[in-house]
Amino acid sequence: MHSRPAIIQDAPQITALLNQLGYRDGQETVARRLGVLGQCHDSIVLVAEDESQRLLGCIHVMVSNRLAEGTYGEIASLVIGEGHRQEGIGRQLIEKAACWLRERGMSRMRVRCNVIREGAHQFYERLGFEITKSHKVYDKDLT
pLDDT per residue as tens digits for the range 22-40: 999 999 999 999 999 999 9
In a domain, 134, yes or no: no
In a domain, 33, yes or no: yes
In a domain, 91, yes or no: yes
Alpha-carbon distance of 72 to 106, in angstroms, equals 6
| CATH number, domain with residue 83 | 3.40.630.30
In a domain, 114, yes or no: yes
User: Tens digits of per-residue pLDDT, 41-86?
Assistant: 999 999 999 999 999 999 999 999 999 999 999 999 999 999 999 8
Output the pTM of the full model. Answer: 0.92
Q: Which residues form the domain of 19?
A: 2-126
Q: What total of structural domains would you count in the chain?
A: 1
- Closest by alpha carbon to 91, among 125, 133, 131, 134? 125
In a domain, 131, yes or no: no
- Residue 69's SS3 state is coil
